[in-house]
Amino acid sequence: MLVANKAPTSNPHLLSWVDEMARMCKPDQIYWVDGSDEEAKRLTDEAVAMGVFIPLDPDKKPNSYYSRSNPNDVARTEELTFICTPTKDEAGATNNWMAPDDAYRKLGEIFEGSMKGRTMYVIPYLMGTPDSPFAMLGVELTDSIYVVLNMRIMGRIGAVALERLGGSAKFNRGLHSVADCDPQRRYICHFPQDDAIWSVGSGYGGNALLGKKCLSLRIASYQARQEGWLAEHMMLLEAESPEGETHFIAGAFPSASGKTNLAMLLPPKEFEGWRIRTIGDDIAWMRVGDDGRLYAVNPEAGFFGVAPGTNEHTNPTAMEMVSHDAIFTNVALTPDMDVWWEGMDGPNTDLVDWRGRPWKRGSKEPAAHPNSRFTVPLENNPRLSRYATDPKGVPISAILFGGRRSTTVPLVLESFNWTHGVYMGATAGAETTAAITGAVGRIRRDPMAMLAFIGYNAGDYFAHWLSMFGRMSHPPRIFLVNWFRKGDDGRYLWPGYGENMRVLKWVIDRSVGRAGALETPIGYTPRLGDLDLSGIDASTEAIEAALRIDPDEWQKELEAHGDWFDRLGGTVPEALRLQRRLLIASLKAVS
Ligand code: GTP
Ligand code: SPV
Ligand code: MN
């Protein structure tokens, strides 16, 4: 077993906070993580000895490990996530709220003695590269070795973070304990005014890897508003044309709706010479540069991606990426110690499912949990952009907002201007699936894919987005996209995946003013001839149907936007309410 070590810092703020938290949680020992490779090896061996990690076959999956979470703890729990601002209004209608004092008291009772018999790991970490002025510093205290080994991949941890911290008191204070992993005693609380996060009762994903959603989105979005920048749930990609012209595109899609796929897109063969390279697949921080353009960085150092559905056809890049040095959580295990999930070929044998139970081939129950994931470092991506770790970020040409909509929303729609673009993001929605509790097929509005991640009042967040326009001389163009529209037969109208390259090309060409479009009352769409459709495996009728704007559907849609704004209350900016009325009136005028 690991032994306690001496604190590798004399920072009094850090030392006294760790001491205070340890007195509450009462771990048997405290271990300061240094982030070295040698340490990672020791921690990994320890995780194997504890049964937290199962080594995979070193020939099939070199240096890779398999892990299972508690079956009651398999995804982020939005209903147990709180923004703890002094007033409820600051958190707004989209967040759960608890008064800070109440939250500290309530969670304090659960944290009390929660680490007895365990080690408290101290993880100093950076989100962003060490040489980036935009990097954010946090320290996560956790009793989970699984969290340490995942944070090691997703952030930059240990000495590099302590060095940057120096003697400063400015770092996010993150306290995490799996405690007894009881859903009744599970809370993920954010204290934006204190720059603090307390998370208890869960050991998986965004609930527990505090650098990810908690710091880089909820706390960061709160600070971004005060400081005039944006912290967003977006993938980032580099697109290089055969002529060597490079564009950077940001895209916000709700969880499990295709960010990872798009960031790793392989163009179809008709697009020979085009290169799409990944910068990030989940989070973008964006600031206005000296030249008036919007620059984005990916603050993460790895990918925590959805496994099911990933295969050689949908995402060959990801398949290559997870072939070594990976952690897999809640997928299925093969008898020869490899991994399997729904969407892969086979299986040719019976398996052990994500709960650790025998699974018969052909069984109807999924062998891998639908939210099972892989964790891999950025470097594993064979098509990583050389700008992925650029400290100043990349200038964004276009922003895409998307969601899963089986009706109404066309394949792609370009906004008239920034305000209209912000409106598109603010009203974006996705159909609920079986994975989310509630009625299936209902539209859940997910503004900018940030519903679960805005660290303050959503109306104020829209106002902040609108205000960003005034800071830029070259703002990116904003588009709404939908890969998920269905025909009457219930099948997707658009082939998606690599074929989305055709939409990306139109988006890029529009952003430099060299592609045609049809102006409609609700935005610009490509006509068939404006898209490069050479060799596509889809009928003209299907593509026309994917692009179509149906006035009746849009009347209803714009009505629903009104209900959504009413739900958000008085902070929704007047510009967005007027934008809605203008769209309704424009649509009526021509129908
Ligand atoms: P988080 O990591 O949860 O934030 O989500 P993500 O947006 O990175 O999710 P991911 O890319 O893993 O989404 C995967 C899901 O989107 C799978 O169900 C895919 O089948 C589906 N998907 C991705 N691209 C397309 C597409 O072009 N067309 C269709 N129909 N489905 C797609
Ligand atoms: C998401 O749910 O949007 C994720 C996974 O990216 S998690 O990190 O668990 O939030
Ligand atoms: Mn995400």
Is ligand 1 within 6 A of the CB of residue 76?
no
Task: Pick from 69, 74, 76, 371 the residue to mutate for probing ligand 2's pocket: most ligand atoms within 8 Å of its CB.
Answer: 76
| CB contact at 8 A, 231 and 224 | yes
Q: CA of 403: how far to CAs of 278, 432, 443, in Å? A: 20, 10, 10
Q: Kindly indicate the confidence band of residue 544, based on its pLDDT and cuts at 50, 70 and 90.
A: very high
Is ligand 1 within 6 A of the CB of residue 256?
yes
Predicted confidence at residue 2, as pLDDT, reads: 72
Q: Kindly indicate the confidence band of residue 3, based on its pLDDT and cuts at 50, 70 and 90.
A: confident
Over the stretch 118-142, which tens digit does the pLDDT of each residue have?
999 999 999 999 999 999 999 999 9
| CB contact at 8 A, 332 and 354 | yes
What is the arithmetic mean of pLDDT over 180-191? 98
Helix (H, G, I), strand (E, B) or coil at 485: coil
Helix (H, G, I), strand (E, B) or coil at 362: coil
Cα 164 to its chain centre, rounded Å, is 26
Cα distance between residue 472 and residue 287, in whole Å:
10
Is ligand 1 within 6 A of the CB of residue 500?
yes
**Average pLDDT taken over every residue of the chain:** 97
| CB contact at 8 A, 558 and 580 | yes
What is the arithmetic mean of pLDDT over 400-409? 96
Over the stretch 83-107, which tens digit does the pLDDT of each residue have?
999 999 999 999 999 999 999 999 9
Over the stretch 227-275, which tens digit does the pLDDT of each residue have?
999 999 999 999 999 999 999 999 999 998 999 999 999 999 999 999 9
Q: Measuring from atom 23 of ligand 1, which residue has the nearest CA?
A: 258
The CA-based angle 43-369-337, given to 5 degrees, is 55
What is the arithmetic mean of pLDDT over 349-370? 97
Is ligand 2 within 6 A of the CB of residue 201?
no
Query: Is 176 a residue whose pLDDT tops 70?
Result: yes
| CB contact at 8 A, 253 and 259 | yes
Residue 156 backbone phi and psi in degrees, to 5: -115, 110
Higher-confidence position of 283 and 437: 283
What is the arithmetic mean of pLDDT over 425-445? 77
What the block records as the tokens of 213 is: 């959603």
What is the arithmetic mean of pLDDT over 68-77? 96
| CB contact at 8 A, 380 and 300 | no
Q: What ligand 2 atom has the least distance to the C-alpha of 207? A: 9
Q: Kindly indicate the confidence band of residue 438, based on its pLDDT and cuts at 50, 70 and 90.
A: low
Query: Is 197 a residue whose pLDDT tops 70?
Result: yes
Starting from the CA of residue 233, give the closest ligand.
3
Eight-class DSSP state of 435 = T
pTM of the model: 0.97
Q: Kindly indicate the confidence band of residue 439, based on its pLDDT and cuts at 50, 70 and 90.
A: low
Predicted confidence at residue 511, as pLDDT, reads: 97
Cα distance between residue 307 and residue 318, in whole Å:
9
Cα distance between residue 448 and residue 234, in whole Å:
9
Q: Nearest to residue 188, comparing CAs of 214, 154, 217, 150?
A: 214
Residue with tokens 């209608």: 93
Tally DSSP H helices, then E strands, for the chain.
Answer: 16, 31
Q: Which amino acid is at 199?
A: S
Is ligand 2 within 6 A of the CB of residue 218?
no
% of the chain with per-residue pLDDT over 70: 98
Query: Is 434 a residue whose pLDDT tops 70?
Result: no
